[in-house]
Structure 1
Amino acid sequence: MDTPKSKKLDIIIPAFRGHSQNFVMVLDGISEEDALKRIEGRTNHIIWMVGNFLDMRDAMGNVLGIEDEFEFKEYFSQGKALDESFKYPTLQQLKDSFHKISPLVYQKLLEVSDEDLEKAFPMGMNIDFFPEDVLNFVGMCIGREDYLSGQVGLMRRILGYEGMKYDFDENMKY
């Protein structure tokens, strides 16, 4: 395993890599058509969930100094609600974006210093037990990725797909 510059990220690095693996595995075999299905018009579709996952990766990258913008930000930024009038990107386009941004964010996570992680990052939460800094923002993004992966996993089963297989790709280094 890669060693981050900051010991504060010892738990984040394996979580990030695990989420990258989960992202690939939970989407395995999902068709483009099924990725746009909603359940009884009440759920988000998988495309929205995947786009929101990528928005989290983009947000982490931005707070760590990556200036690239997620090319589909207009659809997903800050958890923007699903809008059925949008022509969302395809699942394949989102997978391609994932493989573009994830290695960049991973490298930044390895390089970031304690000082940079301790920098204030106002989120407007105003919760006394939650310091609003870069480290906690990264942690929130990781938590959101967990949540979204679980949602996609549930949608996968509802749509009649087998449960996710845990076939980790040892060659994926992010």
Structure 2
Amino acid sequence: MDQPVSKSLEIIIPAFRMHTQMFDNILAGVETKDVLKRIEGRTNHIVWMAGNLVNCRYWLAGILGIAETDPNSSFFENARALDEKLDYPSLDVLKKEWHTISPKLYKRLLSISEEELHEPYAFGMKVEFVTENKLNMVGMATDRVGYLFGQLGLMRRILGYEGVRYDINEKLNY
């Protein structure tokens, strides 16, 4: 397994790679007829959640110095809520974007120094016990992914799909 330059990211690298795998697994077999469904008009739909996952990776990439931006950011940036009036990108487009930014972000996570991770990064939450730095942004992004995966897993079951599989695609090395 790849080893990061920063010891602080040793636990993040396996999680990042597993999340890359799980994105595909969690969306596997979901039919187009179900991607915009909401439960009792109260939940986010699958496309919105997948788009937020992609946007989260682009967001973290930007924090860590990758100049690329999410081409669909207008739908998801700044914690924008689901808007049923919008014509969201397709799940296929979002899957493509996931696999466009993920290898670049993975490479960056492997190469970033401990010193750079501890550089200040203000994110405005003003939580006394959370130091506002790049390292904690990596942690918050990882947490966000786990949160959205939980929602997507529940949506799969509610919509009648089998639970999420933990199959591994050996070709995904990021």
Q: TM-score, structure 1 length as denominator?
A: 0.98
**3-state SS of 1:81 partner:** coil
- Residue number in structure 2 paired with 1:121: 121
C-alpha displacement at 1:79, in angstroms?
Answer: 2.2
Cα distance in 1 for partners of 2:122, 2:14 equals 26
After superposition, the CA RMSD in angstroms is 0.7
Structure 1 gaps of 5+ residues are none
C-alpha displacement at 1:33, in angstroms?
Answer: 2.0
Identity %: 50
Q: TM-score, structure 2 length as denominator?
A: 0.98
- Residue number in structure 2 paired with 1:112: 112
The answer to whether the aligner puts 1:79 opposite 2:73 as a matched pair is no
Cα distance in 1 for partners of 2:39, 2:128 equals 38
Cα distance in 1 for partners of 2:110, 2:90 equals 31
The answer to whether the aligner puts 1:134 opposite 2:134 as a matched pair is yes
The answer (yes or no) to whether the contact 1:25–1:166 under 8 Å persists in 2 is: yes
The answer (yes or no) to whether the contact 1:4–1:13 under 8 Å persists in 2 is: yes
| Paired amino acid for 2:6 | S
Cα distance in 1 for partners of 2:14, 2:35 equals 28
Cα distance in 2 for partners of 1:126, 1:84 equals 32
Structure 2 gaps of 5+ residues are none
| Paired amino acid for 2:157 | R
C-alpha displacement at 1:126, in angstroms?
Answer: 1.4
Listed as ranges, the matches of 1:11-160 within 5 Å are 11-160=11-160
Cα distance in 1 for partners of 2:20, 2:29 equals 16
Cα distance in 2 for partners of 1:42, 1:79 equals 17
**3-state SS of 2:65 partner:** coil
The answer (yes or no) to whether the contact 1:55–1:78 under 8 Å persists in 2 is: no
Cα distance in 2 for partners of 1:165, 1:156 equals 11
**3-state SS of 2:20 partner:** helix
C-alpha displacement at 1:165, in angstroms?
Answer: 1.4
| Paired amino acid for 2:24 | V
Moved over 4 A (4+): none
The answer (yes or no) to whether the contact 1:53–1:148 under 8 Å persists in 2 is: yes
C-alpha displacement at 1:166, in angstroms?
Answer: 1.4
